[in-house]
Amino acid sequence: MDTITNLLDAKGTPLDRQRFTWREMSNAPISKLDDDAFTRVRVILMNGIETDALRLKHIGARMFGELREPLAQVRRVEQHQQTQINWLLSADHSPLETTLAYEQVAIEVTAAVAQNEPDPYQAQTYRFGLLEDFDHLYRYAAMLDRLEGKDANNILQGYTDIIPARPTADHHRHPDDDLREHYDRSDAALITKIHAAMITAAEYQTHDYYMNIGPLFADPLARALYAEIASVEEQHVTQYGSLMDPNESFLEKWLIHEVMEAYNYLSCVEQEDNPRIRAIWERFLDYELGHMNLVMELFKKHERRDPAEVLAGPMPRLMKLKSQRDFIRKVISEEVDLRALGINFVPREDEGQLTLDYRQHLHSQGIPADIVSAGYSWHPGTELNRPAP
């Protein structure tokens, strides 16, 4: 296993030197046409991670008065980091095209994490969720084709297959069947904690994005499709969030989050081929290392514990963010018929009554994902470009 050895020893940029201008935050975007799809994948992933950094810190500030100041200080920097990252998306992406990119992030990043995750149950959970985001991509590709007359592959650039997996209509489960077993904070590997925080963050932003843009559509089926898939994304946030040990203290969670952020920026630095964007990743890696060191000091001060307790153990490099086609095809062929019952993954015929009842009622007036994708097969240049039989 290729591991990271000295990331946690670096001091990074001190907080008081982490400054921004409006010009930096609202700088030139990437090119939708010319930049590599994985540059956009990294932009969306890191935006989601910074959004979650703010979210966690706001919740912490509501509960721990003595941490309000450092939380506010770090949050302000992360607000500006997030702005600089999210503003890299160019305005020629329609909201639906950006949606395709979000699903590509969910698929390719979760596939990379599933293969790197040492805990078999957690890895199984990532594979389970992966097949659902993969199916969302297919449904949204049909929507893009039939609404805007555009080819989803202009966004995906050939890296990701556009085929059904576990049908979206089957994703809707009773909340009890979306909870998973959490890792044990005392013996889980650091990378397991990083993965759970990272994928939860990514899914959370996808949920929030769909909730924000869904009502922007005029087409009634597009609105309905976003309503349906946003609900599944909430299920995914429930699922992945429940992988984390609720017995961790807030500071422990904060520390893990900062390490997770640094870990992801490091992978961005190592893999980015656009030099202008790589410079942003390098700068923000140093910023996150600064945050991490600050939290380590707070951890010592308030918990009287050694951060090494939390941060010990090998940390594998993030798998290359590239097309995970072969892995995903294997997971589809072996696990597409799995369903969830409580915290367990079971054969399709063993789904529980709670979920069946919940789903039946939701579907009782029509299923948007089925309507928009009826008979849809992706073809280069859209289904309208398919030669007549």
Partner 1 sequence: MDKPAHTGMNRTGAQMSPLHTPEQKAAAEQVRPTVPGSARQLAEARQEAVASAEPVGSVPIPGSIKGAVKTVAQKISGHNPAILIDKLGERLAFERTGVRLYDAMIAKAQALGEPQDKLDRLQHFRDEEAEHMERVKEAMESLGADPTAQTPSADVAGVSGLGVLQVITDPRTNMAQSLDALLTAELTDNAAWDLLIDLAREAGQSDMVPSFEQALRQEQDHLGTLRIWLREALGVKNS
Point out which residues bind partner 1 (CB under 8 A): 32-37, 90-92, 146, 153-155, 157-159, 161-164, 167, 218-221, 323, 325, 329, 366, 370-381, 383
Residue 108 to residue 38: CA distance in whole angstroms: 9
For the CB of residue 382, give the shortest distance to partner 1 in the complex, in Å: 11
Closest CB to partner 1 among residues 183, 376: 376
Which residues does residue 340 pair with via DSSP β-bridges, in sequence order?
Answer: 345
Three-state SS string over the chain comes to CCEECCHHHCCCCCHHHCCCCHHHHCCCCCCCCCCCHHHHHHHHHHHHHHHHHHHHHHHHHHHCHHHHHHHHHHHHHHHHHHHHHHCCCCCCCCHHHHHHHHHHHHHHHHHHHHHHCCCHHHHHHHHHHHHHHHHHHHHHHHHHHHHHCCCCHHHHCCCCCCCCCCCHHHCCCCHHHCCCCCCCCCCCCHHHHHHHHHHHHHHHHHHHHHHHHHHHCCCHHHHHHHHHHHHHHHHHHHHHHCCCCCCCCHHHHHHHHHHHHHHHHHHHHHHCCCHHHHHHHHHHHHHHHHHHHHHHHHHHHHHCCCCHHHHCCCEECCCCCCCCHHHHHHHHHHHCCEEEECCEEEEHHHCCHHHHHHHHHHHHHCCHHHHHCCCCCCCCCCHHHCCCC
Closest CB to partner 1 among residues 1, 218: 218
Closest CB to partner 1 among residues 36, 303: 36
284: closest CA among 53, 18, 16, 7?
18
Q: Which residues of 67-90 are buried (b: 16+ CB within 10 A; e: fewer)?
A: beebbebbbebbbbbbbbbbbbbe
For the CB of residue 325, give the shortest distance to partner 1 in the complex, in Å: 6
For the CB of residue 157, give the shortest distance to partner 1 in the complex, in Å: 5
Closest CB to partner 1 among residues 3, 26: 26
Closest CB to partner 1 among residues 53, 338: 338
For the CB of residue 345, give the shortest distance to partner 1 in the complex, in Å: 20
Residue 116 to residue 321: CA distance in whole angstroms: 12
For the CB of residue 32, give the shortest distance to partner 1 in the complex, in Å: 8
Alpha carbon separation from 347 to 87, 239, 240, 339 (Å, rounded): 43, 18, 21, 6
For the CB of residue 346, give the shortest distance to partner 1 in the complex, in Å: 20
Closest CB to partner 1 among residues 36, 335: 36
For the CB of residue 350, give the shortest distance to partner 1 in the complex, in Å: 20
For the CB of residue 226, give the shortest distance to partner 1 in the complex, in Å: 15
For the CB of residue 66, give the shortest distance to partner 1 in the complex, in Å: 46
Closest CB to partner 1 among residues 1, 91: 91
Closest CB to partner 1 among residues 219, 335: 219
For the CB of residue 248, give the shortest distance to partner 1 in the complex, in Å: 40
Closest CB to partner 1 among residues 188, 367: 367
Closest CB to partner 1 among residues 32, 57: 32
